């Protein structure tokens, strides 16, 4: 498995764990601090749990040694980040949202591109 894929897994694990923990534990304070309102605490906490689960899978991917062990994880990450980009872009193009939403989109897009590249490379990754 390539060093780039391992690094992507590690960076993703850290980013997802940080965002997930904040959304799960203190969604109101976290989202208000970044200018995101209104806040739905139930959906925010569910998203936090999902991010923590993705962080865990990325941590496991980082520790894996072979492509066969991470192929499904890379596919899952590619689908999640791509759909997330599509969902956010729909709102960003037709409404005014704070800068943090654009930052979220940029982070998702960067990960989506990386995961898709690794997915297309397959065993080479």
Report the 3 state secondary structure along the chain.
CCHHHHHHHHHHHHHHHHHHHHHHHCHHHHHHHCCCCCCCHHHHHHHHHHHHHHHHHHHHHHHCCCHHHHHHHHHHHHHHHHHHHHHHHHHHHHCCCCHHHHHHHHHHHHHHHHHHHHHHHHHHC
Position 125 scores a pLDDT of 64
Q: For residue range 20-76, what is the model confidence (pLDDT) as tens digits?
A: 999 999 998 888 888 777 788 899 999 999 999 999 999 999 999 999 999 999 999
The percentage of residues in the chain with a pLDDT greater than 90, rounded to a whole number, is 77
Position 62 scores a pLDDT of 97
């Amino acid at each position: 498995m390539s060093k780039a894929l391992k690094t992507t897994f590690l960076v993703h694990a850290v980013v997802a764990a940080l965002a997930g923990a904040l959304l799960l534990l203190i969604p109101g304070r976290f989202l208000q601090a970044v200018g995101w309102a209104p806040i739905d605490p139930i959906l925010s906490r569910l998203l936090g749990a999902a991010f923590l689960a993705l962080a865990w899978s990325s941590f496991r991917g980082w520790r894996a040694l072979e492509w066969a062990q991470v192929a499904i994880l890379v596919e899952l990450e590619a689908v999640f980040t791509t759909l997330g980009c599509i969902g956010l872009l729909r709102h960003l193009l037709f409404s005014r949202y704070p800068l943090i939403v654009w930052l979220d989109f940029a982070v998702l897009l960067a990960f989506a591109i990386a995961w898709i590249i690794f997915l297309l490379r397959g065993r080479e990754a």
